[in-house]
Amino acid sequence: MDATELNSNGTERRGGDFTTNSRLVLLSGFAIVIGGLSTLSAMVLLAAIRFFTNLFYFHTVSTAASSPADNRLGWMAIFVPALGGLIVGLMARYGSEKIRGHGIPEAIEAILFGKSLMSPKVAVLKPLSSGIVIGSGGPFGAEGPIIMTGGAAASLLAQAFHLTAAERKSLLVAGACAGMTAVFGTPLAAVLLAVELLLFELRPRSLLPVGLACAIAGFLRPLWAGSGPLFPLQTPEPSWIAMMSCIAAGLASGAVSASMTRMLYFVEDFFAHLRLHWMWWPALGGLIVGVGGYFQPRALGVGYDVIGDLLQNHLVLSVALSLLVVKTLIWAVALGSGTSGGVLAPLLMIGAGLGSVLSGWLPGGSPELWALVCMAAILGGTMRAPLTAVVFAFGLTHDSNAFLPTILGCVVAYGFTVIVMPRSILTEKIARRGRHVFREYGVDPLERYFVDEVMTREVASINASETLRDVLQTYFGAEQKFRAYPVVQDGRLVGMLDRSVINKEFDPDMPLSELLKGHSPTFVVPGDTCREVSWRLAADSLERLPVVDNATSRRVVGIVSRSDLLKPSRVLHEEEMQRERVFG
């Protein structure tokens, strides 16, 4: 049922906690299908990465797991990422430019500004291009491309069944987050990613499809990727001294997050000033990636094995430091060049590397703990998604002892970047295209107030027996007070009258009852929310609406206008700005 329903006596009653209808069942059915499709897409993408890794570095046709760090190409390996970048540059120019980038900003832009529409080209070319880039040594993860691919597949399915833009958004995000679940096996973190980054709302029509799709992907993942956490870890229970260390780790992670964001867009600006078509930028960036990979081969590719080694404290300080520096540099250069790849896995490696480097100076916990805390804090600070980062770290490791330190480190890093940076690494890219993204959630003040709380109760109405001539002289003359008036007959609303109707060529002696005969009046009831009124005013291009006691009697009890809808915002402004003295 809709939020506004009928009581047994025929009057309207106020809505419930949520706005929903029977189409939620339809969306849920689609979400189950999308969960399966996104899991299949993740399988294909990961297989493509393994295929191209073997093809580029080992010259074999295989989908067996392998690492670029194990290649025997010598100095020739420097040119492999450049070759991959060249292929993707050509694909972007002659296929679809939308495959450039790391996926999440593009998904946000499609949701907020593109009515959640994606093309079949993106669904095919994004995983293919990402497989080529990562397989040729690009320092990225599979999650960004799979978010874009899963979202594109869901958007195409929604388009095929002629769903609304709002429904497409729910399914697009469901597909994106189900893909992330299939890659990492972290369904709850994927749902939180939707809430913090992609949905821009928290409603049943969006949360339920996302939750269903992620659950389906989570159940299907063990069938092809095995069960259990991706990086199993069990750190000792931290001491109370760890609290101060968590704050220090969070501040360091926040500083690195801000520096990485600035570095990325400095590199992007550098490429933008080159007198060279953007098609060639990924190849140039790939050449620098190849040089970095020559000196630190383990910084190439997805690097899940390296993340595991950092979390388990299997690498000495010098190796961890070189990984941190090289991975950060080649990631910023590659992504700034406009190639295709994800950001989550690189952020995990950079964060774990930072924690390993700092572990010798942070008391109160083990080196493994600080690698995990910094890994989550870098993610939370860079993407401005602290809840996602905390749950993501737990989902990847199942380390319950690290839960509280991770929360503290993540919120400190998040707070640091919120204070020192106006936008995140994701929204900065959208802002550079001239579009602003506001990421704060709050209950719409128009949703908190009902019509009977803001309406004007003293109503100037017109009797339906009056003629057009009399009405024009009395109500629409030089001293006209209102833009439109409700017309009533025997106390019952028959319509609204404004000057646009009066100015039409009608017999001036025609009574209003004849003029409005057969007209179905638009009205609201006292139990409607102000948001429903605002939608109706906007949809019908109206200035004011009559308020009737119920849909049966249609007795006019008030008028609600656009100016009345400012009252809730005025109350909110007072709550935000007015300082009150409670005591004394």
| pLDDT of 11 strictly over 50 | no
- Looking at residue 359, its pLDDT comes to 92
pTM: 0.81
Contact by Cβ (8 Å): 4, 21: no
Measured in whole angstroms, the distance separating CA 361 from the mean position of its chain's CA atoms is 36
- Looking at residue 501, its pLDDT comes to 67
**Least confident interval from 3-17, 28-42, 202-216:** 3-17
Torsion sign (Cα): 455, 459, 465, 467:
negative
Give the pLDDT confidence of 380-428 residue by residue, as tens digits: 999 999 999 999 999 999 999 999 999 999 999 999 999 999 888 888 8
- Looking at residue 130, its pLDDT comes to 86
Q: Which spans in 427-515 are helix H? A: 427-431, 445-448, 451-454, 468-475, 499-502, 512-515
Pairing relation of β-strands 484-489 and 492-498?
Answer: antiparallel
Average pLDDT over every residue of 187-211:
90
Average pLDDT over every residue of 316-332:
94
Nearest to 366, CA basis, from 247, 252, 248, 245: 245
Q: Identify which has the larger pLDDT, 79 or 532.
A: 79
Torsion sign (Cα): 276, 277, 281, 287:
negative
Start-to-end CA distance of the chain, whole Å, equals 49
Average pLDDT over every residue of 69-98:
91
Report how far residue 211's alpha carbon sits from residue 326's, in angstroms, rounded to the nearest whole number.
37
Which band of pLDDT confidence, cut at 50, 70 and 90, is reported for residue 12?
A: very low
Altogether, the residues listed in the chain come to a count of: 584
- Looking at residue 3, its pLDDT comes to 43
Which residues of the chain are in CATH 1.10.3080.10 domains? Answer: 25-225, 242-280+294-431
Pairing relation of β-strands 12-13 and 5-6?
Answer: antiparallel
Pairing relation of β-strands 12-13 and 462-463?
Answer: unpaired
Q: Which spans in 384-467 are helix H? A: 386-397, 403-420, 427-431, 445-448, 451-454
Average pLDDT over every residue of 124-131:
85
Pairing relation of β-strands 556-561 and 544-548?
Answer: antiparallel
Average pLDDT over every residue of 15-41:
84
Average pLDDT over every residue of 12-22:
64
Report how far residue 584's alpha carbon sits from residue 582's, in angstroms, rounded to the nearest whole number.
7
Question: What's the chain's average pLDDT?
Answer: 87
Nearest to 422, CA basis, from 261, 192, 252, 198: 261
Fold entry, domain 445-569? CBS-domain (3.10.580)
Give the pLDDT confidence of 532-570 residue by residue, as tens digits: 888 888 887 888 889 998 888 889 999 998 888 888 877
Which residues of the chain are in CATH 3.10.580.10 domains? Answer: 445-569
Report how far residue 528's alpha carbon sits from residue 547's, in angstroms, rounded to the nearest whole number.
10
| pLDDT of 4 strictly over 70 | no
Report how far residue 536's alpha carbon sits from residue 526's, in angstroms, rounded to the nearest whole number.
14
Which band of pLDDT confidence, cut at 50, 70 and 90, is reported for residue 10?
A: very low
Which band of pLDDT confidence, cut at 50, 70 and 90, is reported for residue 8?
A: very low
- Looking at residue 267, its pLDDT comes to 94
| Helical (H) or strand (E) element with 246 | helix 242-272
The strands making up 462-463's β-sheet, listed across from edge to edge, are 462-463, 484-489, 492-498
pLDDT over 70 percentage in the chain? 94
pLDDT over 90 percentage in the chain? 43
| pLDDT of 344 strictly over 90 | no
Fold entry, domain 25-225? Clc chloride channel (1.10.3080)
Measured in whole angstroms, the distance separating CA 362 from the mean position of its chain's CA atoms is 34
- Looking at residue 158, its pLDDT comes to 85
Q: Identify which has the larger pLDDT, 514 or 280.
A: 280
- Looking at residue 306, its pLDDT comes to 93
**Least confident interval from 118-122, 447-451, 525-529:** 118-122
Nearest to 557, CA basis, from 8, 12, 19: 12
**Least confident interval from 211-225, 392-406, 439-453, 536-550:** 439-453
Average pLDDT over every residue of 40-56:
91
- Right CATH number for 242-280+294-431 from 1.10.3720.10, 1.10.3080.10, 3.40.640.10, 3.40.605.10? 1.10.3080.10
| pLDDT of 571 strictly over 60 | yes
Report how far residue 341's alpha carbon sits from residue 12's, in angstroms, rounded to the nearest whole number.
52
Q: Which residues are CB-contacts of 553 (< 8 A; sequence separation ≥ 6)?
A: 492
Which band of pLDDT confidence, cut at 50, 70 and 90, is reported for residue 181?
A: very high
Report how far residue 495's alpha carbon sits from residue 499's, in angstroms, rounded to the nearest whole number.
14
Q: Which residues are CB-contacts of 464 (< 8 A; sequence separation ≥ 6)?
A: 487, 488, 489, 494, 511, 512, 513, 516
Report how far residue 86's alpha carbon sits from residue 105's, in angstroms, rounded to the nearest whole number.
23
Q: Which residues are CB-contacts of 292 (< 8 A; sequence separation ≥ 6)?
A: 299, 326, 329, 330, 333
